[in-house]
Structures are given as structure tokens and as C-alpha cells.
Copies of this chain bind each other. A is one copy, B any other.
């Protein structure tokens, strides 16, 4: 038995911890009321608790750690990003959008409840995100609270995630080139991942001019994340993914994989991950979690 080479699995432990913490926080944020709003809050809890890898909260926490931010404050901010992510999945899964029946291996919200409840549960998680960010537990400094809201609101609206989703909906009719697919994905997936890193820096009171290397890291992992998603859609195991796969091809959508081919797409994702890590060199060993998280993003099987 060689104990010297047994390295504690930093990333697995961090994932387990953040998953527990985010679940506990949502449980506390969402007590079920004793009136007919119960169904709405049950649907919010169904979507927000016990599902998802929590990549975005972990990005917030791991970035905030670089700057010695209070851990619970960073978890709160991470929950806000995750509430936005969860609302977007509920709405994306609706029959009028992607019409998906399965998410995280269980029925989507409109299947488990109904469409109207799904619309409202998404809307309510959207509002909850900003409610969380303005609580003193997230930051005692109102400037930080206001900046967190500004960062998340911009990343999720028409100039961010929702805008990317619109471009994605139009992609079946429009033959995007690689530049346009990159722009689409920077908005649809990248904006919220970038906001997660940015919010860690906001919590750490790092001024915008000190965030350039973090933004470069976030941009690289955002693109790598989406290329990995496109690869999973082609090569992934549907049971592990817990959602429908092979959808891009059926819809005739242009993706990184259809435009670059499987081999080049994989090489590109791996190059981006190496590059992402290199942006954090100045933080040395402190950035190990963010570097490992970047690697996980291209290696994940779901």
C-alpha cells in the first residue's frame, strides 16, 4: 500500500460538499406554505433540490475561496446562480420549447406537475435568485449585493442566457457558421458560467480591472463545456445523462461537432481546458480546484 501517492480527491469532495450545501440552502429558502401555494413551492423544490451536478455554485465557491470569502456567503450566491439555471431548465423543457420529458433522470416539472405550474415555478425560482442575493447573509455590504444582482441579471437576460436560447431556437432555420455557433454558446451556456466566476470575484471585492484572468478562464471553460455537451449528445449514454440525447442531429442543428467533427471538437475542448488552467497560474496551488473543475468539464459523462 503506497500512501504517498494516495491523493485526496479534491474535486469529488468539493462536489459532494457543495451538493449537500445547495440542497440544504434551498430547503431552508423554500418552506412549503400551508395554503394553495403549496403546489407551486413543491414544484420549485422538485426542480431545485437533489438534482444537477452544481457546477455553477462550485465555480462561485471555488473562485471566492481564492480571495478568502466567507464560505456560506459564497454558497448563497451559488444558490442564486443555480436558481437561475434551474428556472431556465424548467422553461427550456416545456412543450413549446424543447419538449423534454426527462431531466436529471426524472420527469421534467411540467410532466410531474403541469405546464402552468412549471411556468410559474420557473418564474418563482427566477425571482428567488435575486431575493437570495439581496439578503445580508449573502453579503453585509450593499455594494456587493447590488453588484451580484447586476452581474446575474445581465448574464441571464436577453443579452445573456435567454438571448442565447433565442439564437438556439432560430438555429434550425439558419445555417450558422462557427463564429455564430460560438457566439450562441457564449450566451446560452457561457454567460451563466462566466457570471459564476465573476460573482466569486465580486464577493472577493476584486475590482473589474483585476478580473481579466478570471474572465479568460471562464470564457475558455464556457466553450469547453458546450463542446463537451455537443460531444455527449453524439456519444453519450442516455441513462447516465438522465435526459434525451441525439437531439441536435435530428433537428439539423449546427453544433461544434457538426462543424468541426468529433476528433477536432475533442482536441479543441482539451486545448481550451489547458489554456483555462494557464490563466490561473498566478494563484498557484490555490487555484487547484478551479483547474480540476475545468478538467472535469470535458471528461464528465453526464
Contacts and interface: CB of A to CB of B under 8 A. Distances in A.
Interface of chain A, main secondary structure: helix
Given A115-B96, A116-B96, A127-B157, A40 B166 contact: yes
Contacts of A163: 33, 37, 40, 124
A166 B37 contact: yes
A130 interface: yes
A106 interface: no
Interface string A142-184: 1101110110111011101011011101110010000010010
B157 A134 contact: no
A119 B91 contact: yes
A106 to B, nearest CB: 21
A94 interface: yes
Contact of A158 (B119, B128, B169): B128
B37 A124 contact: no
A170 to B, nearest CB: 4
Q: How large is the interface on A (under 10, 10 to 19, 20 to 34, 35 or more residues)?
A: 35 or more
A37 B146 contact: no
A124 B170 contact: no
Contacts of A135: 150
Given A41-B158, A123-B126, A36 B146 contact: no
Given A36-B166, A97-B116, A120-B162, 15 more contacts: A36-B167, A37-B158, A40-B158, A91-B119, A119-B119, A124-B157, A124-B158, A126-B126, A127-B162, A130-B153, A131-B150, A131-B157, A142-B142, A142-B145, A146-B149
Given A130-B130, A134-B146, A123 B37 contact: no
Contacts of A130: 130, 149, 152-153
Contacts of A30: 158
A73 to B, nearest CB: 14
